[in-house]
């Protein structure tokens, strides 16, 4: 029994430990944000509302059906509908009826309204997909910012460790009389600057984590961590395409373009709906009614007999022909045509903006790669210079000021490589995004 209890405790501890140390990948962050983001939740509700609008549009093709029931008392002189004679008494009467109406033709407006509801649903879906695209990019940017800050912190800590060793070596040289005390003070000042830089970078990590945390709408910030993987550059051939080719592809995959195209279809359909008001409306009606009159005492047999004898049916057709409605239909058609022109201009503007973004993303990606390659070469040169300066400083052939300049240049070069790498990764993801490639690392 004790062994089983101990095993259960161990398993629970292991499970809790794993739960507390969960580290989010980029894919997990994107998937969670797309499922829980508040704006996306609201957009999904708008889609459900559009589905209800479709149901309403379909219902317009069906006849309505209404029932009515009335009962009244009257005291005084009354006409008995059974004997057709006047009586002085308190009488009761009951009326029961059912009626139905259906639109047979309304200038095809019901059909066009259903089509509009379907287009509106499609528009809401494209809005949701476009929102998901933007949120995915924001999550990717926030995720990469954390990675950049973490890798920068790692480099700063490594430099800090080297500086601690340099302080110890310099102390020994100062005590031995090989170096002046000013060299030690200079290195200690550099060490203090590095400690401040480490604190600043730790704060940057917290801020970038908070940005991603808010995008995911999580609740426990203390337990939120992302993977510590170091992402290296993966060869890609997307820049072998011309920016025009990427733009042409983006026209077929971008949801904001699809949204503008649907807006044109809606506007064209609205013109047809407006023109339908010029046409007559044909409707049919059906009615059934019966009544009961009780001048004396209530009797079930008499009730059923009167309901049978007093029943009546009505059938009818109604035709409404519009002749003049104070120019409302004409103006509605004109406004619909203006909205169509507006939608066409919006599509052209969307295409223009997309082309500008694609060309900018293409140039940014190629420029970021060149910057990364140049920063790597600079780091290689600064590394050799720093190693040479370290050797000369340890031999007493270089003063601390010159040595610190070489060291600062090396640290800056290392930071520039990290910054250029993540800047290139994000800009590449933006370009792939326009090409229709899912965001992934």
CATH number at residue 269: 1.20.1600.10
- Residue matched to tokens 């993303």: 361
For the stretch 31-84, pLDDT in tens is: 999 999 899 999 999 999 999 999 999 999 999 999 999 888 777 776 666 666
- Residue matched to tokens 């101990």: 6
Q: Is residue 175 part of a domain?
A: no
What is the model's pLDDT at position 190? 83
What is the model's pLDDT at position 213? 92
User: Parallel, antiparallel, or unpaired for β 85-105 and 281-294?
Assistant: antiparallel
What is the model's pLDDT at position 6? 43
- E-assigned strand segments in 299-408: 312-320
**Is the distance from CB of 336 to CB of 274 less than 8 angstroms?**
yes
**Rounded CA separation 118/107 (Å):** 19
Q: Is 22 helix (H, G, I), strand (E, B) or coil?
A: coil
95 strand-pairing partners:
70, 291
Q: Is residue 163 part of a domain?
A: no
Q: Is residue 20 part of a domain?
A: no
Q: At what angle do helices 109-175 and 400-434 cross, to 10 degrees?
A: 160
Q: Is residue 179 part of a domain?
A: no
What is the model's pLDDT at position 128? 95
Task: Dig out the tokens for 51 from the structure.
Answer: 């589905």
Domain count for the chain, please give it.
1
Domain enclosing residue 375, as ranges: 26-62+106-149+198-279+322-434
Q: Is residue 339 part of a domain?
A: yes
* Local mean pLDDT, 10-residue blocks, the chain (441 residues): 45 47 86 91 95 95 93 74 68 87 92 95 95 92 91 88 84 80 84 91 93 89 82 80 93 93 96 93 94 68 78 92 91 95 96 95 94 94 91 81 86 90 91 86 67
Q: Is residue 366 part of a domain?
A: yes
Q: Is residue 164 part of a domain?
A: no
Q: Is residue 4 part of a domain?
A: no
160-198 burial string, b = 16+ CB within 10 Å, else e? eebbeebeebbeebbeeeebeeebbebbbebbeebeebb
74 strand-pairing partners:
91
């Amino acid at each position: 029994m004790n062994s089983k209890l101990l095993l259960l405790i161990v398993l629970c501890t292991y499970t809790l430990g794993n739960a507390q140390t969960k580290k989010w990948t980029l894919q997990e962050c994107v998937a969670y944000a797309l499922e829980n983001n508040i704006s996306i939740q609201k957009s999904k509700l708008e889609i459900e509302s559009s589905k209800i609008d479709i149901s309403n549009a379909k219902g317009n093709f069906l006849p309505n059906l209404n029932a009515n029931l009335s009962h009244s008392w009257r005291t005084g002189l009354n006409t008995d509908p059974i004997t057709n004679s006047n009586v002085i008494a308190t009488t009761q009467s009951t009326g029961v009826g059912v009626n139905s109406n259906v639109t047979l033709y309304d200038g095809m407006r019901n059909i066009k309204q259903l089509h509009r509801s379907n287009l509106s649903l499609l528009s809401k879906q494209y809005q949701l997909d476009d929102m998901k695209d933007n949120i995915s990019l924001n999550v990717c940017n926030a995720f990469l910012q954390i990675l950049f800050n973490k890798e920068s912190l790692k480099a700063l800590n490594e430099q800090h460790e080297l500086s601690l060793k340099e302080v110890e070596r310099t102390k020994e040289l100062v005590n031995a009389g090989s170096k002046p005390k000013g060299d030690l003070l200079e290195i200690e000042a550099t060490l203090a600057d590095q400690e401040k830089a480490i604190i600043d970078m730790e704060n940057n990590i917290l801020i970038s984590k908070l940005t991603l945390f808010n995008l995911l709408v999580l609740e426990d910030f203390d337990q939120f961590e992302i993977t510590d993987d170091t992402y290296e550059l993966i060869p890609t051939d997307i820049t072998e395409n011309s920016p025009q080719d990427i733009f042409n592809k983006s026209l077929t995959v971008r949801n904001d373009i699809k949204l503008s195209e649907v807006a044109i279809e809606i506007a064209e359909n609205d013109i047809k709906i407006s023109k339908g008001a010029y046409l007559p409306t044909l409707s049919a009606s059906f009615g059934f009614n019966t009544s009961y009159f009780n001048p004396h005492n209530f009797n079930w047999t008499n009730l059923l007999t009167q309901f049978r004898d007093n029943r009546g049916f009505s059938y009818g057709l109604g035709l409404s022909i519009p002749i003049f409605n104070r120019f409302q239909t004409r103006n509605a058609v004109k406004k619909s045509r203006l909205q169509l022109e507006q939608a066409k201009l919006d599509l052209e503007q969307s295409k223009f903006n997309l082309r500008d973004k694609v060309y900018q993303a293409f140039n940014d990606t190629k420029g970021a790669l060149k910057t990364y390659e140049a920063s790597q070469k600079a780091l290689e040169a600064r590394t050799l210079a720093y190693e040479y300066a370290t050797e000369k400083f340890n031999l007493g052939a270089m003063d601390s000021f010159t040595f610190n300049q070489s060291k600062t240049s090396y640290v800056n070069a290392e930071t520039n490589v990290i910054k250029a790498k993540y800047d290139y990764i994000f800009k590449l993801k933006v370009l792939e995004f326009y090409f229709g490639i899912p965001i992934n690392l």
